[in-house]
Structure 1
Amino acid sequence: MLIEEHRDLWQLGTELSCLSPSEPLAHALGELMTAELVRHIVAEESFVYPVARTHLPQGDLVVEQEIAAHAKLEQMMRELERPGLTRAEFDALHVRMPAEARRHMQTEEEWLFPLLAERLSAEELLALGRKAIEAKEKASIRQRLAEPEGSLLNRIVASGTTLVDRVRAYLQDTGYAS
Structure 2
Amino acid sequence: MGHGGDVIEELTTDHREVEEIFEQIAVLPSGHKDRKRLMDHLTIELVRHSVAEEQYLYPMVRERLPQGGVLADKEIGDHSKVEQMLKKLEGCSADDPQLDQLIMDLKDAVTSHVEDEENNLFPQLRRACSPEELTKLGNKIRMAKKTAPTRPHPSAPATPPVNKLLAPGLGLVDRARDYVTGRGKS
Asked if Structure 1 and Structure 2 have the same fold, meaning a TM-score greater than 0.5 normalized by the shorter chain, the answer is: yes
Counterpart of 2:84 in structure 1 is 75
If the length of structure 2 is used for normalisation, what is the TM-score? 0.72
The residue aligned with 1:165 is: 153
Aligned-pair CA distance for 1:22: 3.6
What is the match of residue 38 of structure 2?
Answer: 29
- Is residue 57 of structure 2 the alignment partner of residue 41 of structure 1? no
d(CA) in 2 for partners of 1:128, 1:20: 40
Q: CA deviation at 1:100?
A: 1.1
* CA displacement at 1:139 relative to structure 2: 3.1
- Is contact 1:17–1:94 with CA below 8 Å preserved after alignment? no
Of all paired residues, the percent bearing the same amino acid is: 33
Aligned position for 2:104: 95
Q: Across the two proteins, how many residue pairs are aligned to each other? A: 153
List gaps (5 residues or longer) in structure 2: 1-9, 157-162, 173-186
Using a 3 Å threshold, how does the CA distance of structure 1 residues 133 and 82 change in structure 2: closer, same or farther? closer
**Match status 1:54 vs 2:63:** yes
Match of 2:72 in 1: 63
Query: Compared with structure 1, are the counterparts of its residues 83 and 131 closer, same or farther at alpha carbon in structure 2 (3 Å cutoff)?
Result: closer
SS at match of 1:164: coil
TM-score relative to the length of structure 1: 0.75
Alignment of 1:107-122 (within 5 A): 107-122=116-131
Structure 1 gap segments, 5+ residues each: 142-155, 157-162
SS at match of 1:23: coil
Instruction: Quote the offset at 1:140 in angstroms.
Output: 8.1
1:91-144 Cα offsets, whole Å, 9 max, x none, are: 1112211111111000000110110110001111111112122333x3388xxx
2:133 aligned partner, one-letter code: E
Q: How large is the Cα RMSD of the aligned pairs? A: 2.7
User: How far apart, in 1, do the equivalents of 2:148 and 2:59 lie?
Assistant: 22
Question: Could you tell me how far 1:18 is from its partner in structure 2?
Answer: 2.9
Contact 1:17 1:91 in 2 (8 A): no
Instruction: Return the alpha-carbon distance in structure 2 between the equivalents of residues 97 and 135 of structure 1.
Output: 24
